Structures are given as structure tokens and as C-alpha cells.
Amino acid sequence: MKDFSIKALIVCGVLFMLAKPKTAISQTPTDAIMMEKGQLCVAAIYGHDSWDKYWEGTYKRSNGNIGTLTRQSVTGMFSLGITDRINVLGSLPWMKTSASAGQMQGVQGIQDWGVWLKARAIDFKLGPGTLGFYPVLGLTGPASNYAVDYLPFSLGLGVVEASGRGIAIYEFDMGLYVRANAAYHVRSNTTIERDYYYIPGSGGVYSNKVDMPNVSSFGATLGALLLKNNLKVEATYEGMNTLGGADIRLHDMPFPSNNMDMTRANFNLQYYIPFSNGHVLSVIAGGTHVLTGRNMGQSTAFMGGLTYQFGVFGNKNNAKQ
């Protein structure tokens, strides 16, 4: 019932600032934004999501020993223009989990670091707009020694993950845009805090190493730039598919290698406040709701935060795309 967090898309509440308006903004691994050479954008995002029902396999149920599970996060992010066509991104979230019922205690701490390299491979005029394609390579891993085998309270899955993503976007000249992305995530084994575990269909395993299945993910976005490009509005449909793993056993706790699938809908707003020195402040807000799932909580999440962009080398006052 652990959400895919920063790795699919970067945890319920970090999908913000998507597409490429004419004002300078930050970026995420699933958008089509490129910072100009020498421009740095930093962000601080607060996220809050909760659920009181989850899918045990494909059966949706509640659990009186959990009640409502709540996860809060504060995520720091940055994006830096190495060149106009190559950017590096990073993120580091702090998380806290808690439940409204039962005897199990939540945990808190730093979750997983993430680093991504994004390139603008294709970007050209086509008909009434512009077509672009952006490949993204990513690497994530645990940033603290958290307990993995404590789902749904665990901070993460404890895996090192490499990902490759392709992003395509078509931006109409009048301000609308559509974007799609797809990714494949290769995950390492994870280490749990016991020497024996049971996998349905496979039997008992005498080891503290767990073979983790790989994951595919996708997303599609419709967005618009309003108020002279100072307001961005987006709606996104996204999902992930775990390529293997077993279902949660009846009335059992989830296990890190469970087959966790989901689709969800996101809505995001961002308002930009430019300054005379070329710096740009923005305010972001959004929400997401899980629509379908397998071995996942049906969570509703809200997020809000600030981004700030400025120059660190090159033309430090240049904050335009």
C-alpha cells in the first residue's frame, strides 16, 4: 500500500510545474521544461495524503487496525541548466507516517534521494505550435537507514532504481499544450529486517534479500497558460504498473515486492511573480486522487509550495526560456 512516491512520479504532491511557458520556472522529471544555462531553480514542497481504504489484491477494503493512514512530506528540489539543452535535477524528501487507529506507530525521516539528467533532443515548429521530445535518465536510492519491511508505515522500499523516460509535448501558439511521457524503472534487490519470509506461489525464502520487480509508468497532461503566461493550469492522468510480484495475503501486512499498480488524476496550479533583476518566485498548489489500484491505498493528496529561480553562472539576470 506504499505509494510509488518520488519515483513515479514523484510522490503524490511533487508533480508540479509541468510544461514550458515563456516565463522561467522549475521542472520535474516528467515535464518538458528546460532551464537556460546557468539558471538554478530551488523548490520547497509540502504534501499531505491519506487513505482509509486500500486494495488487498483487487479487493478494496478498510482496516480497523489502521483507520486512516496519513503521510506528510516536505521535499526540497532543484533544477540547474548545465547548458541550454542539458539540465540536472535533484530531490530529497522528509516524510512522516501515522495512523488514526490501532497500536502500530508511524515513522519519520529522510526518504530517497533522486538525481535526473534531462536533455532537449527535438524542439521545432510544426503547424500551429511547437513539437518537442525530451529524454530523461534518473537514479534514486535510500537516503537513510529506514525500516523497509514495515508497510504501509515505511518511508520507502529501500531500492536503488535506474529509470529511462521519454517525454513528448505539443504546445499550441495560443497557450494550450498536451504532453505525454512513459518510463521504465529497473530496481535493485532490497534488504529487510528478518531472515525468512513467505511469497505466495513461491513458498518460503531463507534470506533478508528480496527480489524487487521492475516498474513501468506513464502520464498524459492537458495544460494552459493564462494571464499573460503568469498562471499555469494543468490536469494529468498517470499510472504505474509493477511488472511482477504477488498480492497481499488475506488480512496480512503488505510486503515490499507486492504487485503495486495504480492510476490517478492530478490537478495543479502555479502562479509566477517575476522580479526586475530576472529572478522569479512562484506559488504552486495541487491535488491528486487514486482512481484504481492493486495492493495500494486509495489516497487523496494535496500539496503546496514555493519555487525561486535565479542565475548562478553565465548571464545571471537571464530568466527567460
The DSSP 8-state label assigned to residue 254 in this structure reads -
Least Cα distance to 132 among 184, 89, 180, 78 occurs for: 180
Question: 315 falls in which pLDDT band (50, 70, 90)?
Answer: low
Yes or no: domain 6-311 corresponds to CATH 3.40.30.110 = no
Confidence of residue 202 (pLDDT cuts 50, 70, 90): confident
For 204, the grid coordinates are: 518460503
108-110/129-142 β-pairing: unpaired
**Arithmetic mean of pLDDT, 214-232:** 96
Cβ 214 vs Cβ 160: under 8 Å: no
Cα–Cα distances in angstroms (integers) from residue 321 to residues 21, 24, 44, 102, 147, in the given order: 8, 6, 22, 51, 42
- Are the CB atoms for 67 and 101 separated by under 8 Å? yes
Domain ranges of the chain: 6-311
Amino acid at 7: K
The region of weakest confidence among 45-54, 160-169, 249-258, 292-301 is 249-258
- The model's pLDDT over 62-75, given as tens digits with 9 standing for 90+, comes to 999 999 999 999 99
Which pLDDT band holds residue 317 (cuts at 50, 70, 90)? low
* Angle formed at CA 187 by CA 182 and CA 192, multiple of 5 degrees: 140
Q: Is the pLDDT of residue 90 over 80?
A: yes
**Residue 173: how many other CB atoms lie within 10 Å:** 10
pLDDT single digits (tens) 26-64: 478 999 989 999 999 999 999 999 999 999 999 999 999
Find the DSSP H helices in the chain: 6-9
